[in-house]
Amino acid sequence: MKLSDIGEFGLIERIRRSVAPGDGVHRGIGDDAAELQLPDGHHLLTSTDLLIEGIHFRRDWTTSEALGHKAVAVNLSDIAAMAGTPRFLYLGLACPGDTDLQEIDAFLAGALDEAKAFGVTLVGGDTCRSPGPWMISVTVEGSVPSGKAIGRNGARAGDVVMVSGTLGDSALALRILTDGGHPDPYLSSRHHRPTPRVDLGQELGKKGLPTAMIDLSDGLTSDLEHILQSSHVDGMIDLAELPLSTAFLHQAERDTLVRELALHGGEDYELLFTVPPERVAEATALGVAMGIPVRPIGAISAGQGRLAVREADGTLQTIRVRGFDHFCQSSGEKGLA
Ligand code: ADP
Ligand code: MG
């Protein structure tokens, strides 16, 4: 069966039927607007991401189900980066009318499964026909106790830069795919099925550990630079301290790929944050307790947003940031185009 066989309203009804009631949802799919409630004393957090076929994903490189998961995961990651709790989800979807309903069902199953895993309810969206590429717009709303959100602007001279998980796996998988190869299952899942660090972000926030935080979507250097510029400080990354997976080390020729992919590659969806030096041990211990490696990779100093890398031989090199920028031809990797 094709999407055109059930039509827009058939699809909306199909989506509505697959959504279970959720906390704080007075009115979900089916009215002119959703009616929602946040816990008392909390602020609303909201974030949107667009995913365009041919720019952010290729349907011959992934499954529709993984695509559904990822579309939601990358949004949850933004709420995690604010130390918030994700709650409500909106899904804008444009596909050609001749799309197999099976593909849509698989996409929805992935998206709803990812949402459910984090206690998030789909409460609305929009559906229309696309002349070609799939276009997916996901919005997530979450909450955070008033005054407890962690922004990009709180890093202070003397803070230590920390990161969760490992770096570069997703960009390496994309590089292998682009070169016509097949990434191993671990690298592939890091690219196609990223895990948003929602619990870690909340726990870091509860303990008041990060002075600034961001999720890694554009690349380590690019995303750290956002913190540096918002916080009006300089930063240093110690190349020797970057956390790399066994699979990454196995495939990478250390010198070139570490620089290229771990330093500049996008879509790791790990948390990058700064903490005062006396609280590094606490942050590391929290990571151990949660089973997510968290480690120091650099330092913040007084300055105006410059970023330097300490090379393996100990020399410091100021670097030109080149994370992914959709409108800049010479930017680093993330999208396909
Ligand atoms: P409107 O004409 O006001 O845009 P629609 O007929 O598009 O209303 O939508 C009807 C209801 O279905 C609304 O609650 C809307 O949020 C929901 N909805 C539409 N498309 C989607 C979708 N892709 N996912 C989830 N909910 C959707
Ligand atoms: Mg509509």
Ligand 1 atom nearest residue 122's Cα: 25
Closest ligand, as measured to the CA of 12? 1
Q: Quick one: which ligand is closest to 11's CA? A: 1
Pairing of strands 233-238, 135-145: unpaired
Q: What angle do CA 115, 51, 49 make, to 5 degrees?
A: 60
**Which residues are near ligand 1 (CB < 6 Å)?**
12, 15, 29-32, 91, 93, 122, 124-127
Residues 6+ apart with CB under 8 A from 296: 160, 161, 162, 241, 280, 284
User: What are the tens digits of pLDDT across the range 300-323?
Assistant: 999 999 999 999 889 999 987 665
Any idea what the Cα angle at residue 273 is, between residues 89 and 121, rounded to 5°?
10
0.75 exceeded by pTM: yes
Least confident of 88-92, 228-232, 311-315, 333-337: 333-337
pLDDT per residue as tens digits for the range 176-191 = 999 999 999 999 999 9
Q: What is the CB neighbour count within 10 angstroms for residue 197?
A: 24
pLDDT for 257: 75
Q: Residue 164 in contact with residue 271, Cβ under 8 Å? A: yes
